[in-house]
Amino acid sequence: MSYARVLSVGLLGVTGHLVEVEADLAAGLPTVALSGLPDTALNEARDRVRAAIVNSGQSWPNRRITVNLLPATLPKHGSGFDVAIACALLGGSGELPLAPLDGVAILGELGLDGAVRPVRGVLPMVVAAVRAGITRVVVPLANAAEAAVVPGVRVKGVDSLHRLVAFVRDGGRLLEPPEPDPVSPPAGPDLAEVAGQGLGRRGLEIAAAGGHHVALIGPPGAGKTMLAERLPSILPPLDDEAALEVSALHSIAGLLPPGGRLLRRPPLQAPHHTATVPSLVGGGSGLARPGAVSLAHRGVLFLDEAAEFNVRALEALRQPLESGRVLITRSRGATEYPASFQLVLASNPCPCAKPSGDLACECTPLARRRYIGRLSGPLLDRIDVQVPLVPLRAADLVAAATPAEPSAVVAERVRAARSAAAQRWAGTGWRVNADVPGPHLRRTRWRLPARDTEQLRRSLDTGALSARGYDRVIRMAWTIADLDGRDRPGADDVAEASQLRSGRSA
Ligand SMILES: [Zn+2]
């Protein structure tokens, strides 16, 4: 036999596609040609596969070899086809009877010594294989726990090409994936650790309940980071579909924690203000790595010291904020990843970052406006909840003697509020109040009675509030009503939302 075919999986964004790896061996000068849109890494596969085959004690077929990856139209990235190519070659040369690998998808990179190395993106690849009707996969041992998370598939691990050859030829044993870690991962920081900060906690709860983007503005020491890092702890845990999607993105980035579990807690990404545009939106050679915006998908993107980010980095957030997706454009084509996150930005109120009221701060009102103004345009315009934070005062510390409410209690209110909103907007495509366009709340049967919005309309008339700001207050008022179990917001809810929006504490 001089032809063989083996199955593998390629990725396009977060979606996997079955790939057929064909090898044809013909008489003629010994050469190897790869076809089917291979990228550079795939060309390097030729040398890796040759060395790995020879170093595994197999003979290299000295014939004219053509390796083809189908479908040809699908761009192929990375080194995950190595093991499949080696199998197809050995099958085509008659060295290996491939019947035991019928209907098996094979993933993995080869080292020159014949070791099978882990690859990124195994989770979404196995998901795709199962969707295509595949029930057995062979993956690098280091990826086996991750592959075994996917229901409906039998996973075997390999640590070397030699082991795979021994299995195919003599019925040798492949390796079982490790048992999932019985201990749940640590829960992460909890709101019980935040003393005082009534306004900050309330703002965070409203943001969580309505899915609103939030800005925390205050001097150093006001607890901005403490609050932001605890937002995931009061958001609903990821359901099965979301957990699979979020885990797949972390798998492609090579950042899925070991332990063989799906990520269930909404992720938090906190890029530093010196972060480059590619690290935010994604990029790199070979299989494009998801950036912070995609690793924060269905979770929280926290920009600390947001005004210090470079303008291009802030601009790069515009597309994911608008569409929930990000397109990574590179010379070899574009990759799209989901990037729908809740934005939390924190900033000092002024460039010198001295506590407000501190005599050392000599920033002029203009300098302060300019500083925060850097965030307008792409970011501040999308933020419903703005929380002014002040450093902890003595009164807070006294109050802190009574333990603060833990995240689990707040999360239960958030869950109930989200469920009320989901029922109200059922059939519209909106899940949370933050999704609902302003006009829908102003013009339809959801419009609030004039007596409840009187103060707000006066602010609109005097120019103290913009039309967008008006919509944001109303949107937040709905969330406050949902949190407090009322089916429509009243004047008090509008007043609280208005205070949060304008930054005056009650
Ligand atoms: Zn200052």
Cis peptide bond upstream of 237, omega within 30? no
Ligand 1 centroid, distance to 310 Cα (angstroms): 20
Tell me how crowded residue 15 is: count the other CB atoms within 10 A of its CB.
14
Higher per-residue confidence, 439 vs 292: 292
How many A from CA of 360 to the centre of ligand 1? 8
pLDDT score of 143 more than 60: yes
Q: Ligand 1: distance of its center to the CA of 222 in Å?
A: 15
CA of 297 to the centre of ligand 1 (A): 34
- Digit-coded pLDDT (tens) for 88-117: 999 999 989 999 999 999 999 999 999 999
Model confidence at 39: pLDDT above 70 = no
How far apart are the CA of 501 and the centre of ligand 1, in A? 22
The pLDDT score that the predictor gives to residue 247 is: 96
pLDDT at residue 396, rounded to an integer:
63
**Centroid of ligand 1 to alpha carbon of 362 (angstroms):** 6
Instruction: Using the mean position of ligand 1's atoms as its centre, give its distance from the Cα of residue 345 in Å.
Output: 19
Two structure tokens written together for 26: 């013909």
Span 177-200, mean pLDDT?
85
Per-residue model confidence as pLDDT tens digits over 322-372: 899 999 987 777 899 999 999 999 998 888 877 655 567 778 888 888 888
pTM reported for the whole predicted model = 0.91
- The whole-number pLDDT of residue 51 equals 96
What spacing in Å lies between the alpha carbon of 356 and ligand 1's midpoint?
7
Average pLDDT over residues 113-138: 96
Look at residue 505 in the predicted model and tell me its pLDDT. 43
String of DSSP letters for 228-248: HTTGGGGSPPP-HHHHHHHHH
d(CA 361, ligand 1 centre) in Å = 4
| pLDDT confidence of residue 506 | 37
Q: Give the pLDDT band (50/70/90) at residue 503.
A: low
Read off the pLDDT of each residue in 128-147 and give the average, rounded to a whole number. 96
Cα-to-centroid distance, 308 and ligand 1 (Å): 14
How many whole angstroms from 367 Cα to the centroid of ligand 1? 8
How far, in Å, is the centroid of ligand 1 from the Cα of 350?
Answer: 5
Q: Write down the pLDDT at residue 311.
A: 87
What pLDDT sits at residue 469? 85
pLDDT of residue 399: 62
Q: Is the pLDDT of residue 442 over 90?
A: no
Q: What is the whole-number distance in angstroms between the Cα of residue 312 and the centre of ligand 1? A: 25
DSSP codes joined into one string, 263-292: --SPPEE---TT--HHHHHEE-SSSPEE-H
Give mean pLDDT, residues 173-183. Answer: 88
354 alpha carbon – ligand 1 mean position (Å): 6
User: How far away, in angstroms, is 65 Cα from ligand 1 center?
Assistant: 70
Going from the Cα of 365 to the center of ligand 1, the distance in angstroms, rounded, reads 9
Strand partners, 368: none
Please give the backbone phi and psi of residue 363, each rounded to the nearest 5 degrees, phi first. Answer: -65, 135
pLDDT over 70 (residue 37): no
Distance 378 CA to ligand 1 centre (A): 24
Query: What is the CA(218)–ligand 1 centre distance, in A?
Result: 11
Question: CB-based contacts of 382: which residues, under 8 Å, 6+ apart?
Answer: 213, 321, 343
Q: Which residue has the higher pLDDT, 373 or 152?
A: 152
Mean of pLDDT values over 190-200: 87
More confident residue, 205 or 354: 205
pLDDT for the residue 430: 92
Average pLDDT of the chain, as a whole number: 89
| Distance from residue 268's CA to the centre of ligand 1 (Å) | 29
Ligand 1 geometric centre to CA of 349 (Å): 7
Query: pLDDT tens for residues 62-75?
Result: 899 999 999 988 88
What confidence tens digit (pLDDT) does each residue in 270-312 have?
Answer: 999 999 999 999 988 778 899 999 999 999 999 999 999 988 9
pLDDT digits (tens, 9 = 90+) for 387-403: 888 776 666 666 666 67
Give me ligand 1 centre to Cα 408, in Å. Answer: 37
- pLDDT band per the 50, 70, 90 thresholds, residue 377: low
Q: How far is the CA of 352 from the centre of ligand 1 (A)?
A: 4
Distance 355 CA to ligand 1 centre (A): 8
From ligand 1's centre to the CA of 489, what distance in Å? 38
Q: Residue 167 pLDDT more than 60?
A: yes
- Which residues have C-beta within 8 Å of that of residue 496, sequence separation ≥ 6? 477, 480, 506
Q: What is the DSSP string of 355-401?
A: PTT-TT----HHHHHHHHHTTTTTTGGG--EEEE--PPPHHHHHHTT
Question: Which pLDDT does position 386 carry in this prediction?
Answer: 86
Q: pLDDT > 90: what percent of the chain?
A: 62
According to the model, what pLDDT value does residue 301 have? 98
The 10 Å CB-count burial string (b at 16+, else e) for 84-115 is bbbbbbbbbbebbebeebeebbbbbbbeeebb
- Check residue 400 and give its pLDDT: 60
**Which pLDDT does position 285 carry in this prediction?**
75
E-state strands within 309-358: 325-330, 333-338, 342-347
Q: Residue 500: is its pLDDT beyond 50? A: yes
pLDDT of residue 357: 58
Q: What pLDDT score was predicted for residue 401? A: 60
